[in-house]
Amino acid sequence: MNDTALRQTCHTILPGHRQPTPAQLFAAMSDWCQANNVTHDVYGCGALIEDFESRVAALLGYPSALFCITGTMVQATALRLACMERGSQMVALHPTAHILRHERGNHQLFDHFKALPLGDPQRPWGVADLQAVPDKLGAVLLELPMRELGGQCPSWDELAAIKDDCRTRGIHLHMDGARLWETAAGYGRDVAQIAAGFDTVYVSLYKGIGGMGGAMLAGDTVFIDRAREWFRRQGGNVYQRTPYVVAAAMQFDARLAAMPDYFRRTQWLYQQLANYPLLTPNPARPQANMLHLHLPVGRDQALGIRNRIAGEHGVWLFNGAQHAALPEHCYVELYVGDNLLHLPDDRVHEILGLWSAALAGH
């Protein structure tokens, strides 16, 4: 049985949000469309999508925003255009950036830009790392929060210093904000305050928001109009985007309103993890409603424990596992969403105890 099929047999899922079946999701979308008199867009033109783009732009504090079918296309395009504007193909970004880790070299193979790794792979980069780069940079990418570091963010003062340095040196500052909505509670600021000082921001419509897919790019109107043309050139001019926009828009307000609750639940979880020393969280304190748990077993053993508990107890502990630097160690990602938010405290303790006992007896 593959992972997807095994997960579907479980009655309790620890990470992420509850996932409706296609029938449930499409029924909810139908009801929402009926209630809101939704009509299809045509190549991105229509009240539904244009209003949603304007809303996201306003929330982030930008004049304009544009829907795109994938975040991969958004980021490569934004950085390519930034480099064209600034006269340098060099983009500084963290070694764990999504572009470097998960996009199969698209930036290089399509000649979008040249990547310059910035900072230590185990820590967020800071303004000192940026100032140590002697080259003329076309752009800098900063991910907030940094997924591969368990949701870490630079301090508020460090973030301000990065913004100031890029502005002073004329470097385009782009945010990989795939999980930006999750940082507001951690920083204690609204997303417009966090985004202020970035030239462009990418946000996902399916990660924390829970839609079917799609992304938004926010920036000034001239830049967004150029991005629109480049999305078209890359095959991103989808005829009708209505399903993706509806799936995100119909739950957008509820997801944003729940983000502080997710963060509080993450803080609570950290307090409980002190009682389970074989489950070691990273970072040391929550900075968003996500974390890594470092385990004293190898990746294959961790997956075996996950699958055994799923089969015997109907509990899905985590999705993937990654090798850690130490041999016979690994780490897993835990996104705190609806599932953990609504799971009773004693049930969470029962699951953590079950998991910890399996690790101790591996």
Which pLDDT tens digit goes with each residue over 267-315? 999 999 999 999 999 999 999 999 999 999 999 999 999 999 999 999 9
Determine the average pLDDT of the residues in 92-106: 92
**How far, in Å, are 34, 110, 141, 203, 250 from residue 61 at the CA level?**
30, 31, 19, 13, 22
Q: How far apart are CA 279 and CA 273, in angstroms?
A: 7
| 3 state DSSP class of 85 | helix
The CATH classification number of 8-19+255-360 equals 3.90.1150.10
3-class SS at 12? Answer: strand
Instruction: Show the beta-strand stretches assigned E in the chain.
Output: 12-13, 64-68, 90-93, 114-117, 139-143, 172-177, 200-204, 215-219, 280-282, 290-295, 315-316, 321-323, 330-335
Confidence band, pLDDT 50/70/90 cuts, at residue 184:
very high
Query: Averaged over 103-116, what is the pLDDT?
Result: 89
Q: How many CA atoms lie within 13 A of 243 on its CB side?
A: 10
What is the rounded CA–CA span in Å between residue 58 and residue 175?
16
- The residue type of 211 is G
* CA distance linking residue 82 with residue 174, whole number of Å: 9
Confidence of residue 34 (pLDDT cuts 50, 70, 90): very high
3-state secondary structure 318-352: CCCEEECCCCCCEEEEEEECHHHHCCCHHHHHHHH
Q: How far is 224 from 221, CA to CA, in rounded Å?
A: 5
**pTM given for the model:** 0.95
Compute the half-sphere exposure of residue 272: CA atoms within 13 Å on the CB side of its CA.
Answer: 17
For residues 143 and 176, is the Cβ–Cβ distance under 8 A?
A: yes
Does domain 38-240 match CATH 3.30.70.270?
no
Burial class (CB in 10 A: 0-12, 13-18, 19+), 221: exposed
Closest among 41, 57, 43, 50 to 217, alpha carbons compared: 57
As a whole number, mean pLDDT of residues 92-104 equals 92
pLDDT, one tens digit per residue, over 51-71 is: 999 999 999 999 999 999 999
What are the residue boundaries of the structural domains of the chain, listed by start?
8-19+255-360, 38-240
How does strand 64-68 pair with strand 215-219?
antiparallel
